[in-house]
Amino acid sequence: MGRVTVRRPVLRIRGDKRSQRPDTLAAEEPMEIRVGGRPLTVTMRTPGHDFDLAAGFLVSEGVVRSGSDIAGIRYCLGTAEDGSNTYNVVDVLLAPGVAAPDASLERNFYTTSSCGLCGKASLDAVRTTSTWQVADDPLRLDADVLAELPDKLREAQKVFDSTGGLHAAGLFTADGELLGVREDVGRHNAVDKVIGDAVRADGLPLRETILVVSGRASFELVQKAIMAGIPALAAVSAPSSLAVELAADAGLTLTGFLRGDSMNIYTGTHRLEDPKPEAA
């Protein structure tokens, strides 16, 4: 596996003081995802949990619906100029009877770490039909529990402390128990990784769970949550208009600007528990 962090020299300026010193950066490298040996896409990601990333991506694209749809995942071992292993190509073998990806999904250019939907031709093309319906999920949310989730997510980030440059996605129960967390330079990659972890444990649909992301809530992240059967998505920053539209259509609870005890709940407010009465 590639390095999660790298060290590079940097000129530090603090007021009138200057110093030269090494700095720790979050690694970003390309990873090609193949299905049955056939190239599907290339994404820029932080190395680590690559099999989770591949599995989660295939769920998001509607290629697989559960862990049983995947017969195996392996690295296609290549070598760099110095003879070291690159580990930057992952091949997914689908289970017998699972259809190969439609040719329209193939992307002939990079999916960058900031935009996982580059190359999609239209809004209709990304409104993938999900196997799981989240509108009838019985999840109930407590505002006090929601308020604690960003801090819990931050505490679980291991690489962020040394780089300050990674997004995180965490999966929680309604009681605030952390089920899984992943970090990556790309928001969508972090989400794919945390979903892929559940896929590989054959844990879909992820009913009665909350997906918490460290950045904004885009249309794509809402789509990924729906495709995994997650009924609630909470972000520390703003949602986009399309994210709110898709969440409303699907019956997903979408929360934005989740900071301290402040939050905006844009859709799915019926899942929020009534406030507890103050003690006399």
* Interatomic CA distance for residues 127 and 68, integer angstroms: 24
Q: How does pLDDT run across 223-275, given as a tens digit for each residue? A: 999 999 999 999 999 999 999 999 999 999 999 999 989 999 999 999 998 76
β-bridge partners, 1: none
**Inter-axis angle of helices 50-60 and 187-200, to 10 degrees?**
90
| Tokens 């997906």 sit on residue | 211
Give 27-75 pLDDT, tens digit per residue.
888 899 999 999 999 989 999 999 999 999 999 988 999 999 999 999 9
Residue tagged active-site, from 6, 25, 93, 115? 115
Q: How far, CA to CA in Å, does 135 sit from each of 9, 94, 103? A: 50, 29, 31
Widest pairwise Cα distance in the chain: 72
Q: What integer pLDDT is reported at residue 108 of this predicted model?
A: 46
Interstrand relation of 232-235 and 209-213 (parallel, antiparallel or unpaired)? parallel
Report how far Cα 141 is from the mean position of its chain's Cα atoms. Answer: 21
- Does the annotation mark 115 as catalytic? yes
The verdict on whether omega for the bond into residue 22 sits within 30 degrees of 0, i.e. cis, is: no
